[in-house]
Amino acid sequence: QKEVEQNSGPLSVPEGAIASLNCTYSDRGSQSFFWYRQYSGKSPELIMFIYSNGDKEDGRFTAQLNKASQYVSLLIRDSQPSDSATYLCAVNGGAGSYQLTFGKGTKLSVIP
């Protein structure tokens, strides 16, 4: 059974601070890693994706991947109240399986 684990939070950070969200996964064969943002009652919205070990930056967002530790993280710099949402980590199955396995998500609250 493939598992993706996230701290459910809530994670509270002040406006302007860095928010750090973490995710671990069980399947060593996983090759692609995604972060989605989900506002309450809405659908998941793709924020970042990463395929290789290391860091990938896009604006205020940085995704970090460490396949040896089976660990993915998302950093949000200069956090804004509009970043308040649940952040979902998703991992593909690897070995020709492209279905996404999602974590339960981390709820982030950015305090003005």
Q: Which is nearer to other proteins, 30 or 79 (CB)?
A: 30
Site for other proteins in 15-74 (CB under 8 A): 31-32, 34, 36, 42-46, 49
CA angle 53, 106, 111 (to 5 degrees): 110
- Taking the complex as a whole, the smallest distance from the CB of residue 74 to other proteins amounts, in Å, to 15
The answer to whether the beta carbons of residues 100 and 3 sit under 8 Å apart is no
CA angle 63, 70, 90 (to 5 degrees): 55
Q: Per CB under 8 A, does 90 bind other proteins?
A: yes
Q: Per CB under 8 A, does 99 bind other proteins?
A: yes
- Taking the complex as a whole, the smallest distance from the CB of residue 99 to other proteins amounts, in Å, to 4
The answer to whether the beta carbons of residues 76 and 64 sit under 8 Å apart is no
Q: Per CB under 8 A, does 105 bind other proteins?
A: yes
- Taking the complex as a whole, the smallest distance from the CB of residue 92 to other proteins amounts, in Å, to 7
The answer to whether the beta carbons of residues 43 and 60 sit under 8 Å apart is no
